């Protein structure tokens, strides 16, 4: 037994059919639709979903014409909502749209051609779209440099979404939560075991119709139906399925709280209305690091809530991958209309091999944090956002903010 302190830490995630996540996906689907036709589009859209209804509102400046309703319908259909009696049907959903032009005051503050009589270069023409604070975090506890708790919570809801496509009794709404026991080795976090998993999955009201299928999965036979009641059998089924996607070596005395509410028949927008930007912790680091409060979905790159947070993650991950520290938290902040950040802060939780002021110097020398420079480096004017709007914006393959710079120190 080591003498390092141990602690439990928890992250949660939500599936594709969760009402708040539906809204994030709709907002990013609309953003992608604009960007695919007009890479200069300025987009800030929000969404609400409630019983068989979606409202899309916000501000857009673009030469492109986008079919907002088609974006809403596609997201709802892909999430499996096809029955108005359960509160949402892509075929009959009422879509209310109220999108206006971006405020002229904001536009003129953000886009300038000259300053004090001097013509500006293209990177200096676009200032930050708002003031705000953004955080990026990275940790060496996983190959993705992400908190294990969040990676596992995301993996579970992604697996439930895969299962939904095969098993009719699994419905669209779900939430997961994973608690890991960590050892704190001089501030480096080492996962020891998964302490517990919480999982709620919306299900068909007539689970008894599916006992053979569930028996087959749980016991390998449908000949001798188990004596478990349908809900118990569903719990056993879910437990078996999620164990398959969790790292076996960490399943030590793990407790499972599956459907702790007892039943979950009413779900999605009927169970709970949804709103964009309500799952910021699921989108980022699962409660590790810090969060500036700004959400991502529906916002183009001039909104530093998004581009600044992606850049801060890129910096934090680059610091860890360059072995400058084992964990990194990076904060940057902006003022509306001003191109460069007004501050930059770093915390290595005492794991840094060089002083913080040297790290800040390395950041300043290696990362151009003007919004347009971030956009160019990370490819943010492309329609890349739809896939990110569920299962997290970080720790995913195929995105430039995950490709660390090799920093010399």
For residues 192 and 15, the answer to whether their CB atoms sit within 8 Å is no
Give the Å distances, CA to CA, from 151 to 36, 89, 192, 252, 287: 30, 31, 15, 18, 12
Least Cβ distance, residue 173 to ligand AMP (angstroms) = 5
- Residue-wise burial string across 342-366, b where 16 or more C-beta atoms lie within 10 A, e elsewhere: eebbbbbbebbeeeeeebeebbeee
Least Cβ distance, residue 14 to ligand AMP (angstroms) = 6
Contact status: 403 vs ligand AMP (CB under 6 A): no
Least Cβ distance, residue 20 to ligand AMP (angstroms) = 6
Which of 173, 195, 283, 347 touches ligand AMP (CB under 6 A)? 173
Least Cβ distance, residue 79 to ligand AMP (angstroms) = 12
Least Cβ distance, residue 175 to ligand AMP (angstroms) = 5
Contact status: 281 vs ligand AMP (CB under 6 A): no
Question: Of 15-23, 87-95, 249-257, 328-336, which segment contacts ligand AMP by CB under 6 A?
Answer: 15-23
Contact status: 235 vs ligand AMP (CB under 6 A): no
Strands 88-89 and 82-83: antiparallel
Contact status: 275 vs ligand AMP (CB under 6 A): no
Contact status: 261 vs ligand AMP (CB under 6 A): yes
| CA-CA-CA-CA dihedral for 256, 262, 265, 267, to nearest 10 | -70
Contact status: 19 vs ligand AMP (CB under 6 A): yes
Contact status: 272 vs ligand AMP (CB under 6 A): yes
Contact status: 85 vs ligand AMP (CB under 6 A): no
* Site map (CB under 6 A) of ligand AMP, residues 119-158, x = contact: ----------------------------------------
- List interacting residues with ligand AMP (CB under 6 A): 18-20, 173, 175, 200, 261, 264, 267, 271-272
């Amino acid at each position: 037994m080591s003498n390092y302190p141990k602690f439990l830490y928890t992250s949660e995630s939500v599936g594709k059919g969760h009402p708040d996540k539906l809204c994030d996906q709709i907002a990013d689907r609309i953003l992608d639709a604009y960007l695919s036709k007009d890479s200069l589009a300025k987009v800030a859209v929000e969404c609400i979903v409630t019983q068989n209804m979606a409202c899309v509102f916000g501000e857009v400046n673009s030469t492109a014409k986008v079919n907002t309703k088609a974006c809403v319908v596609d997201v709802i259909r892909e999430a499996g909502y096809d029955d108005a009696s359960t509160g949402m049907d892509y075929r009959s959903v009422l879509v209310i749209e109220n999108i206006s032009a971006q405020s002229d005051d904001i536009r003129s503050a953000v886009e300038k051609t000259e300053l004090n009589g001097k013509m500006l270069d293209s990177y200096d023409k676009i200032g930050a779209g708002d003031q705000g604070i953004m955080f990026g975090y990275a940790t060496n506890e996983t190959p993705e440099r992400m908190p294990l708790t969040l990676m596992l919570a995301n993996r579970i809801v992604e697996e439930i979404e895969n299962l939904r496509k095969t098993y009719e009794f699994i419905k669209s709404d779900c939430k997961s939560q994973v608690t890991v026991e960590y050892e704190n080795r001089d501030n480096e976090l080492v996962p020891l075991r998964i302490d517990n998993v919480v999982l709620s999955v919306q299900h068909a009201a007539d689970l008894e119709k599916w006992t053979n299928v569930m028996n087959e999965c749980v016991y390998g036979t449908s000949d001798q139906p188990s004596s478990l009641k349908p809900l118990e059998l569903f719990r056993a089924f879910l437990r078996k399925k999620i164990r398959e996607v969790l790292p076996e070596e960490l399943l030590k005395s793990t407790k499972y709280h599956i459907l702790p509410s007892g039943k979950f028949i009413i779900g999605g927008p009927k169970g709970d209305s949804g709103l964009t930007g309500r799952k910021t912790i699921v989108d980022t680091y699962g409660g590790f690091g810090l969060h500036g409060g700004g959400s991502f979905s529906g916002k183009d790159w001039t909104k530093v809530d998004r581009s600044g947070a992606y850049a801060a993650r890129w910096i934090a991950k680059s610091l860890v991958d360059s072995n400058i520290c084992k964990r990194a938290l990076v904060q940057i902040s902006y003022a509306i209309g001003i191109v460069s950040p007004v501050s930059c802060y770093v915390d290595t939780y005492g794991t840094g091999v060089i002083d913080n002021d040297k790290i800040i110097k390395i950041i300043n020398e290696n990362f151009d944090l003007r919004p347009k420079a971030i956009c160019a480096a990370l490819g943010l004017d492309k329609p890349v956002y739809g896939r990110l709007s569920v299962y997290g914006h970080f720790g995913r393959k195929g995105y430039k903010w995950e490709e660390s710079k090799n920093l010399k120190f």
